[in-house]
Amino acid sequence: MPQDFHPATGLLASLDLLAIRHADAIAHVQLNRPAKRNAINDALVTQLHTAFVNLPEATRVVVVSGAGEHFCAGLDLSELGERSVAEGVMHSRAWHAAFEQIQFGRVPVIAVLHGAVVGGGLELASSAHIRVAEKNAFYGLPEGQRGLFVGGGGSARVPRLIGAARMADMMLTGRVYDADEGQAIGLSQYVVEDGKGLEHALALAAKVAGNAPLSNFAVMHALPRIADMHQDDGLFTESLMAAIAQGDDAAKTRMRAFLDGKAGKVRKA
């Protein structure tokens, strides 16, 4: 972790299942149950929700990772118990509320994936906007073999990344994808060497944090909704969002800088 990161204070510091640090506009939220492979229990879901609702005003982007050898091994089955149908619905809705704050919160989220990205861990990862996988990452949805069905938003988010047929295959047969296979089908946008995921994610976060906040917000909120619309409706919504974004003072300042030769042009890396 770079030296300029410092631990969270106040409410965020009290979230014992998360390690939260800040460096200027970047927040790093780390799942902190390494002995349980960062399996998600009720308390962790609640703390994730709390963390993303209460991000400091200065935050412009969040990086999410997992402590220890795995990103997240999914639902903590030791807490599943004998829930009634009604209790099961409320449990699922609590996950939905937490992950909704990640996908449709205030700032973009970058997930660093390593080791197990399984079940609820993949549901969590799919709520992020950018996913960086280390070579040792692997993806699975074992709910089908356990008599369960996804309940953390996976049925809505994962098919939008890889298609319903691939998700069905994972759930019905227990198929597991490695990091390279996962990138090829859309589970991540980047694959890096083991141990390099956080470094790469932080470099991406610095770029994202440098964007105009309203532009980032439009990408997070308008883009996925437009993709679900009929084309005519999507194009009209795009016009409205484009007009709002270009009318923002930050956009005008950046355009003036570009026209004055003070901003870099798009170049091949």
* Domain that residue 105 falls in: 6-209
Q: Verify that 182 and 79 share a domain, yes or no.
A: yes
Q: Verify that 38 and 96 share a domain, yes or no.
A: yes
Confirm if 74 and 39 have CB atoms less than 8 A apart: yes
pLDDT at position 256 is 65
Residue 128 placed within a domain = yes
Residue 243 placed within a domain = yes
Q: Verify that 100 and 186 share a domain, yes or no.
A: yes
Q: Which residues are catalytic?
A: 123, 143
Q: Verify that 101 and 152 share a domain, yes or no.
A: yes
* Its pTM surpasses 0.75: yes
Q: Verify that 124 and 245 share a domain, yes or no.
A: no
Residue 265 placed within a domain = no
114 pLDDT tier (thresholds 50, 70, 90): very high
CA distance linking residue 117 with residue 123, whole number of Å: 9
pLDDT at position 245 is 87
254 pLDDT tier (thresholds 50, 70, 90): low
**Structure confidence by residue, pLDDT tens digits, 195-245:** 999 999 999 999 999 999 999 999 999 999 999 999 999 999 999 999 988
Most confident listed range (88-92, 127-131, 243-247): 127-131
Q: Verify that 65 and 95 share a domain, yes or no.
A: yes
CA distance linking residue 253 with residue 259, whole number of Å: 10
CA distance linking residue 237 with residue 83, whole number of Å: 42
269 pLDDT tier (thresholds 50, 70, 90): low
Residue 248 placed within a domain = yes
Q: Verify that 138 and 226 share a domain, yes or no.
A: no
Residue 255 pLDDT exceeds 80: no
Q: Verify that 221 and 181 share a domain, yes or no.
A: no
Confirm if 93 and 41 have CB atoms less than 8 A apart: no
Question: 165: domain CATH number?
Answer: 3.90.226.10
Cβ-based neighbour number of residue 137 at 10 Å = 29
User: In the numeric block, which tokens belong to residue 72?
Assistant: 């997240």
Give how far Cα 73 sits from Cα of 31, 124, 239, Å: 11, 11, 41
**Structure confidence by residue, pLDDT tens digits, 145-191:** 888 899 999 999 999 999 999 999 999 999 999 999 999 999 999 99
Q: Verify that 178 and 164 share a domain, yes or no.
A: yes
CA distance linking residue 109 with residue 216, whole number of Å: 11
Confirm if 251 and 214 have CB atoms less than 8 A apart: yes
Question: Residue 140 in 3-state DSSP?
Answer: strand
